[in-house]
Chains A and B, each alone.
Chain A
Amino acid sequence: MTDLLTSPYPALLVGLPVLLATLSLFFRTRGKALVGLLGCLLTAGLAIVAFIEVAQHGTVIHILGGWEPPLGIMLRMDSLAAVFIGMTAVVGVFISLYAWQYFRADESGPGEFPLFWPLWLFLWAGLNGLFLSNDLFNLFVTIEVIGICAVALAVLSGKTTAMFAGLRYLLAAITGSMAYLFGVALIYGSTGTLDLGLLGQVLEPGTTTTFALLVITFGLMVKMAGFPFHFWLPPAHSAALAPVSALLSALVVKGAFYILLRLWMEVFGVSITYAAGQLIGLAGAIAVIWGSWQAFMQTSLKLIVAHSSVAQLGYLLMIFPLLILAPGVTADSADWLSPAWTAGIFQVIAHAFAKASFFLSAGLIIMALGHDRIESLRDLVGNMRITAMAIGLAGVSLIGLPPSGGFMAKWMLLKGIFLSGQWWWAPVVLAGSLLTAGYVFMLLRLAFAPAREMGTFKPVPKSLEIVALILALGSFLIVFPADYMIQFLESTGVFGSGIESIVEGGAYGND
Chain B
Amino acid sequence: METYQIYSLTSAVLFVIGLGGVFISRHFIKKIIATIIMGGGVFLSFVSFAERDALTFADPVPHALVITGIVVAVASAAFALALARRIYQLTGEESFTKDK
A binds B: yes
Residues of B within 8 A of A71 (CB): 61
Q: How far in angstroms is the closest Cβ of chain B from A200?
A: 19
Cβ–Cβ contact A164 & B75, under 8 A: no
In the bound assembly, the distance between CA atoms of A141 and B62 in angstroms comes to 14
Name the contact of A170 in the complex, choosing from B45, B69, B80 (C-beta under 8 A): B80
Name the contact of B72 in the complex, choosing from A141, A152, A170 (C-beta under 8 A): A141
B-contact 0/1 string along A275-305, CB 8 Å cutoff: 0000000000000000000000000000000
Q: How far in angstroms is the closest Cβ of chain A from B98?
A: 12
Q: Which of A156-171 contact B (CB under 8 A)?
A: 160-161, 163-164, 166-168, 170-171
Q: Is B65 an interface residue (CB 8 A)?
A: yes
Cβ–Cβ contact B96 & A168, under 8 A: yes
Cβ–Cβ contact B83 & A163, under 8 A: yes
Cβ–Cβ contact A148 & B79, under 8 A: yes
Q: How far in angstroms is the closest Cβ of chain B from A300?
A: 15
B-contact 0/1 string along A129-157, CB 8 Å cutoff: 00000000100110010011001100100
A215 closest partner in B (C-beta): B15
Residues of B within 8 A of A186 (CB): 45
B-contact 0/1 string along A97-118, CB 8 Å cutoff: 0000000000000000000000
Name the contact of B83 in the complex, choosing from A147, A166, A182 (C-beta under 8 A): A166
Residues of A within 8 A of B19 (CB): 175, 179
Q: How far in angstroms is the closest Cβ of chain B from A258?
A: 20
Q: Is A178 an interface residue (CB 8 A)?
A: yes
Residues of A within 8 A of B83 (CB): 151, 155, 163, 166-167, 170
Q: Is A224 an interface residue (CB 8 A)?
A: no
In the bound assembly, the distance between CA atoms of A148 and B46 in angstroms comes to 23
Cβ–Cβ contact B65 & A137, under 8 A: yes
Q: Is A502 an interface residue (CB 8 A)?
A: no
Q: A137-B65, A164-B96, A179-B19 are in contact. Are A185 and B76 (CB under 8 A)?
A: no
B75 closest partner in A (C-beta): A148
B-contact 0/1 string along A238-257, CB 8 Å cutoff: 00000000000000000000
Q: Which of B57-100 contact A (CB under 8 A)?
A: 61-62, 65, 68-69, 72-73, 75-77, 79-80, 83-84, 86-87, 90-91, 93, 96, 100
Cβ–Cβ contact A171 & B91, under 8 A: no
Q: A137-B65, A155-B83, A164-B96 are in contact. Are A174 and B42 (CB under 8 A)?
A: no
Q: How far in angstroms is the closest Cβ of chain B from A276?
A: 21
Name the contact of A192 in the complex, choosing from B15, B46, B53 (C-beta under 8 A): B53
Cβ–Cβ contact A189 & B72, under 8 A: no
Residues of A within 8 A of B100 (CB): 161, 164, 235
Q: How far in angstroms is the closest Cβ of chain A from B51?
A: 11
Q: Is A123 an interface residue (CB 8 A)?
A: no
Cβ–Cβ contact B90 & A160, under 8 A: yes
In the bound assembly, the distance between CA atoms of A152 and B82 in angstroms comes to 11
In the bound assembly, the distance between CA atoms of A249 and B41 in angstroms comes to 31
Cβ–Cβ contact A140 & B69, under 8 A: yes
A172 closest partner in B (C-beta): B22
Q: Is A18 an interface residue (CB 8 A)?
A: no
Q: Is A188 an interface residue (CB 8 A)?
A: yes
Q: A141-B68, A178-B42, A182-B41 are in contact. Are A167 and B62 (CB under 8 A)?
A: no
In the bound assembly, the distance between CA atoms of A57 and B100 in angstroms comes to 51
In the bound assembly, the distance between CA atoms of A140 and B70 in angstroms comes to 12
B88 closest partner in A (C-beta): A163
Q: A185-B46, A189-B49 are in contact. Are A163 and B87 (CB under 8 A)?
A: yes
Q: Is A408 an interface residue (CB 8 A)?
A: no
Cβ–Cβ contact A178 & B65, under 8 A: no
B-contact 0/1 string along A181-195, CB 8 Å cutoff: 110011011001000
In the bound assembly, the distance between CA atoms of A197 and B62 in angstroms comes to 19
Cβ–Cβ contact B45 & A178, under 8 A: no
Q: A148-B79, A163-B90, A192-B53 are in contact. Are A171 and B22 (CB under 8 A)?
A: yes
In the bound assembly, the distance between CA atoms of A379 and B60 in angstroms comes to 65
Known: A163-B87, A171-B35. 5 other contacts (CB 8 A): A179-B19, A179-B38, A182-B41, A189-B8, A189-B52
Closest 3 CB pairs of A and B: A189-B49, A185-B45, A167-B83
Chain B positions within 8 Å of A, measured between CB atoms, are: 8, 11, 15, 18-19, 22, 28, 31-32, 35, 38-39, 41-42, 45-46, 49, 52-53, 61-62, 65, 68-69, 72-73, 75-77, 79-80, 83-84, 86-87, 90-91, 93, 96, 100
List 13 interface pairs A-B (beta carbons < 8 Å), by A numbering: A137-B68, A152-B79, A167-B80, A167-B83, A167-B84, A167-B87, A170-B79, A170-B80, A170-B83, A175-B22, A175-B38, A178-B15, A179-B38
